Amino acid sequence: MSMAGAIPEADFFGDTPALTETPTENKGRVGRGRLGEWALRLAAWWVLFYLFVPLVVIVVFSFNAPVGKFNLIWHGFSLDAWSDPFKYPQLTEALKTSLQVAAISTVIATVLGTFVAIALVRQRFRGSEGVNLFLVIPLTAPEVVLGSSLLTLFLGLHWSTGLTTIIIAHVMFQISFVALTVKARVRGFDWTLEDASMDLGATPTRTFFRVTLPLIVPGIIAAAMLSFALSLDDFIITYFNSGSTVTYPLYVNSAVKAGLPPQIDVLATMILVASIVLLGVGTLYRRRRVEI
């Protein structure tokens, strides 16, 4: 037998021979993989359970039979609260105020935040890094700090706290969410489309409204929905700058001591259903745009 025939093929070419796994080692690796997969699934289901149980409780207790001032114990299924969801005028007025604040502040923050995002991505100017830093500060700073700082500012300017100061405070932190959300969308924009539009004779204004804006609308809608939800449920910043104005979160906080009627859960369920519907409509709109 020649020496070349005695050398393994892998060693002849300078490679290390492949190691073969025994059936026992292979089964052990598959078993560990399945165990990790089941652990991951269990953790995911536990997180979902933790997130959705409070929502389920609110929906269920909106159908609770009203007995006493506090809707904390299940007394039986009833549609009495749903038959008159606006039974308490103060609660209804607080919800209207929250919706008004959220709508106005969202419109202002969406416009300003969109322009800021486009400017940061489209233009290069001195101080852009500082603007990016200032956008992150409202997201990382505690709401107690933001609320107390704004209150100090308003008192220093001798402004009476109320609806106007609440809107200004909400716009302050909403702009950051809108700008960062739209910024992520604008980064993937093909700016050569604007050049092509203007080469064909379109003005910059016409190019923005006919080319740029339609392509970034999904990001703007997502940012507006996020900022609207954040404004609707904000408590700490609103508490500092509300004055005598009562929003829905402030009313619920005060009602914990005086009484929790089932109408609170009914209105919360209405808001939840409306949010799900809007989210579904937005998802269908994005899918249709992708298909087109």
For all residues of the chain together, what is the average pLDDT? 83
Distances 42 to 35, 47, 99, 249 between C-alpha atoms, Å = 11, 9, 38, 34
Cβ distance 248 to 94 under 8 Å?
yes
Q: The whole model's pTM is what?
A: 0.77
pLDDT on residue 198 = 82
Average pLDDT on 77-96 reads: 89
For the segment 115-163, what is each residue's pLDDT rounded down to a tens digit? 999 888 887 777 777 888 888 888 888 899 999 999 999 999 999 999 9
- Tell me the torsion sign for CA atoms 142, 143, 148, 154: positive
What is the rounded CA–CA span in Å between residue 80 and residue 82?
5
For residues 93-107, give the mean pLDDT: 94
Q: Is the pLDDT of residue 212 over 60?
A: yes
Fill in the amino acid letter for 37: E
Pick the CATH number of 88-260 from 2.30.30.90, 1.10.150.120, 3.40.50.720, 1.10.3720.10: 1.10.3720.10
Cβ proximity of 169 and 102 under 8 Å: no
Provide the pLDDT for residue 174: 93
pLDDT surpassing 90 at residue 185: no
Domain ranges of the chain: 9-61, 88-260
